[in-house]
Structure 1
Amino acid sequence: MKRGLAIGTALSLILITPGHAGANRNNSDDLPPNTGGRSGGSRGCSYQSAVNSSVPALVLLAPARSRSQTISTRPTFAWFVRDRESLPMEFRLYEYDPVSSDAKLVAEILDENFKSAPGIMTLSLSETMPQLAVGRKYLWQVELVCDRHRPSGNPFADAEIEVVAPSPALDDRLERAKNELDRVALYEEKDLWYDALAAVLRDSSDSQLENWRSTLLDRVAQGEAESEQFQQSHIHRIQR
């Protein structure tokens, strides 16, 4: 199945490097294959990195094969990069049509300063990016660009996200929460994965939040090797 989708017009905002628009894309309406949030095998951008690690080169920090929820219309996305070499990255966000389940590209980041760093990377969507719509479902994808001329060899992964409206009761409880720790507990109680993860990755000074971060990272890790690398990762924060 091809990974490309036709570029949609609604909510469209594309941040690209001039001359590279569509370089790695096909004119297709097919969704990317479901990767379970992991790049294929342990393949990276060099033979040596693939030989030396059983951990995938790229892991999206989202529960595998489930559409996790958020109450934020500008959520934070997070992923793990294994290899130390800094590589160009590409980020894409697709929106599912609520009737047909077809998908269209609504945002894309291809700028020359968007590069990988080893460890956990977080991407926060600012006012310059499209605001997600409550009640809509999306698919997000990260790609490491090993070779722009051979995109089929680039490690990539995708995951799904659904934006939901908070209930009045949850709004009230969040407003009355004394601190971020209380809010994380509420997010976890309501299965709001992206909100909980964003909170624990944003603030690392509180020991109790560190415990929450460890718990959430273990939830997406597959095996001890992944868990160890996630837990020891430096966090790199990006905003677009």
Structure 2
Amino acid sequence: MKWIKPSQYFLVFSLPLYLNFVQLALTAQAQLSQQNKTWQISQTFKPPKRGAPPASAGGSTRGGSCLADKKLITPLIPPNKLGLTLSQHPTFFWHLPESSVKTAKFLLLTDDDRTEFYTTSFTLPNRSGIVSFKLPDSAPALAIGKTYHWYFTILCDAQDSSENPIVDGWVERIQPELPLSQALAKANLQNLPSIYAEAGIWHEALTTLVQLRRSEPNNLKVRIDWRQFFKSVGLSAIAPSPVINCCTSKNSSSN
């Protein structure tokens, strides 16, 4: 009979315990890593699980005679046309083709389109690209939990509105939950777009991405994140377009 040395006994009986310990340690590490990735870096926009807004009263988009080759305005909004925001005065974005007319109108309605909340007009740029309009601080603040219907139109024909290209969408201001507020409080500009995109906060996700693109135009990661964000909402064709400084109210009114 061949005897086993005491050291071999120790190895035989301790090996399973060691492997079990290693497995427990790896599991705990994976769980901790997953917790730390609550707001992981991902530039894919994740729409929140919410009901779709009402159908547009007059369709979505139509072209106009004053647009080059009768191309269309493209609103930069999620596929369901509802953009969430945390801001009292969010920023709206559109992609515009070249136009022979330089005046556009923005209208914000509430109460099922029965009440004019805010309206303004502004001058358009001389070239095609992505433009934005920030609701000014002088405008009424969006109320938390309320949905607003906006319209954007280019005034091709002041006498016949049927010739004016128009797009519309909805915006709703929400109150951030505590984990989101804590993540935002710790984040820098480089992390903000992914935090907003992960939480489904459209207006701030795109606004911070635009800020990064303007401040770091040659940053490869910023350019990749930009393309990924647009691709995730079916707007890949818009991603190469320049971001143009526009637009400021020429006149405005509110309720």
TM-score, normalized by length of structure 2? 0.67
Are positions 1:123 and 2:143 aligned together?
no
CA RMSD of aligned residues (A): 2.4
Please, which of 68, 81, 84 is the counterpart of residue 83 of structure 2?
A: 68
Q: What are structure 2's unaligned runs of at least 5 residues?
A: 1-55, 250-255
Q: Deviations over 1:125-146 (max 9, x none)?
A: 2212221111110111110111
CA distance in 2, matches of 1:67, 1:81: 20
- Number of paired residues? 190
CA distance in 1, matches of 2:173, 2:132: 18
8 Å CA contact retained: 2:66, 2:100:
no
1:66 CA displacement: 3.7
Corresponding position of 1:235: 244
CA distance in 1, matches of 2:131, 2:83: 19
Corresponding position of 2:44: none
8 Å CA contact retained: 1:119, 1:236:
no
CA distance in 2, matches of 1:185, 1:33: 34
Identity of aligned residues (%): 23
Find the structure with the greater CA-based Rg: 2
8 Å CA contact retained: 1:94, 1:104:
yes
Please, which of 54, 61, 64 is the counterpart of residue 44 of structure 1?
A: 64
Mapping of 1:187-198 within 5 angstroms?
Answer: 187-198=196-207
Are positions 1:156 and 2:158 aligned together?
no
Q: What are structure 1's unaligned runs of at least 5 residues?
A: 1-30, 51-55
1:180 CA displacement: 1.3
Amino acid at match of 1:73: Q
1:216 CA displacement: 2.5
- SS at 1:107 equivalent: strand
Please, which of 225, 231, 234 is the counterpart of residue 212 of structure 1?
A: 225
Higher helix share: 2
1:86 CA displacement: 4.3
Corresponding position of 2:33: none
Are the structure 2 counterparts of residues 48 and 185 from structure 1 closer, same or farther at C-alpha, using a change threshold of 3 Å?
closer
CA distance in 2, matches of 1:237, 1:48: 19
Amino acid at match of 1:234: V
